[in-house]
Structures are given as C-alpha cells and as structure tokens.
C-alpha cells in the first residue's frame, strides 16, 4: 500500500559533489576548497558501505563508521576512518557515537537483505531494518544533522505493473524485507516534516562488481555473480538456475545490475541536496541469468556448468529500474554499465581473495 505522503519538492542543491563548488550556502571547506563535512557511515564495514567510505575519504570528507561487524568485515574498514563498534539496537550506543563525532550527514547501509530469510523470520527484519533504524534517526536529530542518505531497495516496489520501474511506480512489497525498507522510507518523511532532517532514498536491485581492494563476501552468499564465480574457482560444482520457462528471450529471469562504484558515486551525488528526494538507480538494461553465466564463462575461461531447477515462488520474469530522474537532475550516469566489466572486476577480486576477507 502506498503512503499518502510524497515528498518530491523542486530540486535545490547545497553543493555539487563532483566539482565541490558551492551552489548557495555550503558546509565548512578545508584546504584546497575540499568539503570537510563529517559523514557517519552506518554499515561501513559491509560490501557497499566500505566502498562508499573509501570514496568519501578520497573526496576529502571526514568519515566515521558505525558497524556491529555481524555481517561486515573488520578487514574491509578503511584505516583513514574513525570506527565505532556498535549495534543500532543499542540506542545509547548510536547516540554516543553521534554525540562524539557530530556528523552533518549519515549514510545508512546497515540492513538484513535476504528475502528468503525475511519470509522465514519477519520479526528479525522489522526489528533490525525498521525499529533499530529509528534509534539512528533520533540520534541524528539530537546532534542536528542535516541529512541522511538511505540505501533502500527496489524491493519496495514488489512486482511492477510496468517497466522500467520509476520513482512513481506503486510501492507494494511482496516480502518482509521490502516492507521493512518501505516502512523506514515512510519514517524518513515524518522526520523531515517534524524535525527537518532531510533525506535521499536510493533504490536499486543488484549491486555487483568490486574495486581493486574491496569486494563481495557474504555468508551465506545468495547473489548470482559471486556464486557463478565460485564455480569458476572450484568452490561449487554448478550454478543453480531457478526457472528456464519465463517469458523472456532465453527463458530465464532478467535483472538490473549496477557496479558497486557507480552505486556509491550516486550516494555521493545526493550529498548536495537541500531538500528530500528519492531516486531509482540502475543501468536501465537488464541481463538474464544465462547471459550472466555466459559472460562469466568468457571472462574466466571456465565452462561453469549449470543445473536447472524449478522456479522460485514470487520471482518476477523481469525487474529493471529507470535512473532517468537522477540522470537528468544530478547528472549521474553509470561509468561501467556493461555486464562484462562488472563481472571482470568481481573476478579479479575473487581470484585474489578466494576465501573473501578471511584470506587477507
């Protein structure tokens, strides 16, 4: 069910992160004109958060990470950042971190994100992704932070009525994971209206790829590309393909993939917003399961056998998001939109780290 609240005001930029030139008033600036705003990255030891931390530091921001390390990795932490070990369920812990660091902005990546797990244990997802997040919002209000960038998901849309999915598409989640993210989006609307805490919600499907030093290491791993590469590394015998009779060109599901660095650049792009805004992210072009497998075969030189399985309940044939709004308003465009480049970057990292962060 859609919320009756919508908050899409005219775009009003505080500054533009690419040039770091002010548009109107701007935060404190350090040597060389570089922004010195303090950014708290919640979940900064995870796959996406760790890359965002690295980019923020490279741009001259002062960064602190708040992470429980439950599903993140200490070895993914950037030594240039300050680290607070803590859990968002601990209201005093996140409050203390905010009072000590005094962030102007928070980036929120901390969430459970397994659809199957959410169907088995919805309480876990509503408590972690929604209720614990309220502690973060209250802590930010207390220190008068100006903004939160929320790493949301296109799972808030459920099964789309039309493609590609736009920001105006109805939000009707089909699982507790998507519902928990949508609930937090709704809370953000009220914290803006009542407390003036601005937000940017970024919704996307499949983050993929790697940087030279940071990659994807989940336990359990449910994402297609790393699981395909595990076969090439000899860690799995075959890739399961769930459904080969979908109404798509090759009969397998089509999904939108976005390179991890392009995704994090979008998170930096929205830092200049004066008002709250929602954006969908993606390449605008999906790839089928068989296309991903074939691309991985070409990149790795491995045959990568597959095993056909029955469809999984609730898997839509095609999910592709439109990034037209953020492209038109902020000039964001994927620098690595092609599937081969995404897979190559992931393969390079996994070859160096076949056991993930455990082998570093």
Tell me which residues are annotated as active site. 177
Vertex 170 angle, CA 166 and 171, to 5°: 100
Residue 342 structure tokens: 């995404």
Sign of the alpha-carbon torsion through 95, 96, 99, 102 = negative
Q: Confirm if 234 and 354 have CB atoms less than 8 A apart.
A: no
Q: Confirm if 54 and 78 have CB atoms less than 8 A apart.
A: yes
In terms of C-beta density within 10 A (0-12 exposed, 13-18 middle, 19 or more buried), how is residue 104 classed? buried
Residues in contact with 7: Cβ distance below 8 Å, sequence separation at least 6, in sequence order: 189, 192, 193, 275, 276, 277, 278
Residues in contact with 48: Cβ distance below 8 Å, sequence separation at least 6, in sequence order: 109, 151, 207, 260, 263, 264
CA distance 41 to 76: 13
Instruction: Dump the DSSP string for 305-316.
Output: -EEEEPPPTT--
The three-state DSSP-derived secondary structure of 25-80 is: CCCCECHHHCECCEEEEECCCCHHHHHHHHHHHHCCCEEEEEECCCCCCHHHCCCC
| DSSP assigned state of 346 | H
Residue 31 vs residues 34, 35, 58, 61, 80: alpha-carbon distances, Å: 6, 9, 14, 12, 17
- For residues 299, 304, 310, 315, the Cα torsion angle rounded to the nearest 10 degrees is -20
Note if the bond before 32 is cis, omega within 30 degrees: no
């Amino acid at each position: 069910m859609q919320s009756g609240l919508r908050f899409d005001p005219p775009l009003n930029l505080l500054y533009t992160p690419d040039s770091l030139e002010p548009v109107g008033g701007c935060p404190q600036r350090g040597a060389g004109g570089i922004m010195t705003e303090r950014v708290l990255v919640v979940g900064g030891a995870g796959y996406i958060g760790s890359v965002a931390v690295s980019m923020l530091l490279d741009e001259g921001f002062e960064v602190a990470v708040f992470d429980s390390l439950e599903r993140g990795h200490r070895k993914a932490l950037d030594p240039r950042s300050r680290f607070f070990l803590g859990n968002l369920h601990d209201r005093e812990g996140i409050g203390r971190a905010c009072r000590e660091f005094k962030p102007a902005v928070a980036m929120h990546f901390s969430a459970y994100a397994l659809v199957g797990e959410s169907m088995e244990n919805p309480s876990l997802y509503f408590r972690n992704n929604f209720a614990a997040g309220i502690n973060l919002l209250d802590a930010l209000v207390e220190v008068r932070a100006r903004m939160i960038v929320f790493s949301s998901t296109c799972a808030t849309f459920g099964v789309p009525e039309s493609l590609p999915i736009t920001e105006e598409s109805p939000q009707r989640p089909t699982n507790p994971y998507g519902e928990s993210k949508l609930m937090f989006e709704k809370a953000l609307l009220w914290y803006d209206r009542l407390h003036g805490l601005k937000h940017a919600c970024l919704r996307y499907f499949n983050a993929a790829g790697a940087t030279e030093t940071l990659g994807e290491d989940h336990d359990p791993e449910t994402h297609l590309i790393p699981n395909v590469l595990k076969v090439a590394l000899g860690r799995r015998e075959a890739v399961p393909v769930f459904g080969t009779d979908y109404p798509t060109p090759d009969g397998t599901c089509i999904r939108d993939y976005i390179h991890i660095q392009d995704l994090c650049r979008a998170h930096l792009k929205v830092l200049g917003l004066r008002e709250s805004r929602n954006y969908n992210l993606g390449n605008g072009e999906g790839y089928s399961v068989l296309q991903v497998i074939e691309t991985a075969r070409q990149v790795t030189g491995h045959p990568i056998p597959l095993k056909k399985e029955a469809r999984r309940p609730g898997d839509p044939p095609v999910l592709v998001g439109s990034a037209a709004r953020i492209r038109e308003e902020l000039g964001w465009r994927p620098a690595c939109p092609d599937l081969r480049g995404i897979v190559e970057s992931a393969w390079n990292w996994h070859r160096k780290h076949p056991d993930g962060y455990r082998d570093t």
